[in-house]
Amino acid sequence: MIILVGYATVEGQTRKIAEAVASAVESTGNHALLFDTALGGEYAVEHPVAAILCAPVHAARFPGSFAAYVGQEVAWLNTVPSAFVSVSMLIRSEFEEEREEATHFPDTLLSETGWKPRLIHRAAGALRYREYDFFKRWIIRRMAAHENAPTDVTRDHEFTDWTALAAFVQQFLASAKA
């Protein structure tokens, strides 16, 4: 099967997640078409038969370019097996109400676009302090302190559970094949 692995990213963690999704797809003998939804481009000629889209939450929303891409492709997305990987920090919060909030991040995007992914995986992202400008670093450090997340801004901190992500891809492929 040819599987479209589309992603949006701001600081790079979701690209890394999409690359891991693509590797997991390829490891099963399927072919992954890795695609940056912000750049556009041509993939229709390769006829993907399923799609896994990945996007990060910034200020409680997914990137506008990603929402626009989903809105543009929704008719096709709803005719093939599809899955969504929502990447955020709150999903690893120690506070239950914040994890609950993160569980609902996809709701607005899905209701606004009408996309109905078969499966949704909520992955923790990363704090890439070394890539933030001064203002962003200050804001994110405050947010992290509130959640008891790492505040050492001299290094980056990654929270993605790669084993859970690979298991999700296997689950999706099994359901798409069925």
Residue 34 is a binding residue for ligand FMN (CB under 6 A): no
Quick one: three-class SS letters along the chain? CEEEEEECCCCCHHHHHHHHHHHHHHHCCCEEEEEECCCCCCCHHHCCCEEEEEEECECCECCHHHHHHHHHHHHHHCCCCEEEEEEECHHHCCCHHHHHHHHCHHHHHHHHHCCCCCEEEEEECEECHHHCCHHHHHHHHHHHHHCCCCCCCCCCEECCCHHHHHHHHHHHHHHHHC
Residue 60 is a binding residue for ligand FMN (CB under 6 A): yes
Q: Which listed range, 24-32, 39-47, 88-96, 106-114, lies at the site for ligand FMN (CB under 6 A)?
A: 88-96
Q: Which listed range, 9-17, 30-38, 45-53, 168-176, lies at the site for ligand FMN (CB under 6 A)?
A: 9-17
Residue 39 is a binding residue for ligand FMN (CB under 6 A): no
Residue 90 is a binding residue for ligand FMN (CB under 6 A): yes
Q: In the complex, what is the shortest distance from the CB of residue 30 to ligand FMN, in angstroms, rounded to a whole number?
A: 24
Q: How distant, in Å, are the alpha carbons of 90, 93, 100, 156 from that of 153?
A: 18, 18, 27, 7
Residue 18 is a binding residue for ligand FMN (CB under 6 A): no
Compute how many residues bind ligand FMN; rule: CB under 6 A.
21
Residue 73 is a binding residue for ligand FMN (CB under 6 A): no
Residue 20 is a binding residue for ligand FMN (CB under 6 A): no
Q: Which listed range, 25-33, 71-79, 121-129, 169-177, lies at the site for ligand FMN (CB under 6 A)?
A: 121-129
Residues that bind ligand FMN (CB under 6 A): 9-14, 56-60, 87-90, 102, 125-127, 136, 140
